[in-house]
Structure 1
Amino acid sequence: MSDILLREIAPLFTAIILIGRSGTAVATEIGNMKVNNELEALESLGIDPLHFLVAPRVIGITVSMVLLVIYFFFIGMLGGYLFSTTFFNIQLPLDEYVGIVFQEMDMADIGMAMIKSLFFGIFISVIPCHKGLKMPPSITFVPVATTQSVVSSMTSVFFFYAYFTILYYL
């Protein structure tokens, strides 16, 4: 069960949460910067918006995605331990439980979780940046760009989730 939590559930749920929280914020912020001509101001100062705005967001969201998947896994395992000891009266020391969990997993599970996390983090950051940068400079298009970024990010995540899962099981 721990391998499924790490390989399948943690990356997908974390990606959905990160799209809703950070993907929308990135698209909205960059879209508002475009409406207020802040991107043109950066360019007039000789600052490349891709290096100044996009690169830190891509790196930050990608690193956050990987770390949040690891955090999700450990919290899920702790929750499983607490649930089983509380409701089913299973008397198992925590160190034995952790040993069993890590004995059940292999490097392929950890590798697949990290690969999914990296790709999902890139999708969740690049797509909203692109939608925010390419929208028309009108305030009415900010919600449109945000919605498009959420839909495109979700579609990309689900497509590559299915792709990686099929590759793993073949």
Structure 2
Amino acid sequence: MKRTLSVLVEDEAGVLTRIAGLFARRSFNIESLAVGPAEQVGISRITMVVQGDDREIEQITKQLYKLINVLKVQDISEVPCVERELMLIKVNANSSNRSEILELVQIFRARVVDVAEDSLIVEVVGDPGKMVAIVQVLQRFGIREISRTGKVALTRESGVNTEFLKALEARV
């Protein structure tokens, strides 16, 4: 099962290396990783997606807390949260299919950030499902390159579970 971990760490050199080393020693693969400054000066938030069951995630959490610079570890997989990724896609686009690609980009609320004679670069921001969907749609035009950030996520203070709302909406 994919799990999302949010880790607050002191913003010091080598912290990410120690965390990555811990995961490597335990034979855990980090599928997605995003690191950046948190709300407090000198603190960074690491958001990572890993595969693991409850026992494995509990074990890795305990190991993370043993690292000196780790302040807080939270498994936010089952917690209502806002999740986003950024992806840039360079897709083949000529005069005959460019308008169709532009229509698809609008449907996904993405935007074109570069136009060349034979290609477009599209910027997509959204949840991981949106990323998969737009790649599938644009695949038939020929994707030249993809660059994708890791998932970033914050827990919802409102407690609103968007997965529950999506399921409810699908039934209506």
User: Under a length normalisation based on structure 2, what TM-score does the superposition of the two structures give?
Assistant: 0.27
Higher helix share: 1
Q: Which has the higher contact order (CA 8 A, sep 6+)?
A: 1
The structure with more strand, counted as a fraction of residues: 2
Q: TM-score, normalised by structure 1?
A: 0.27
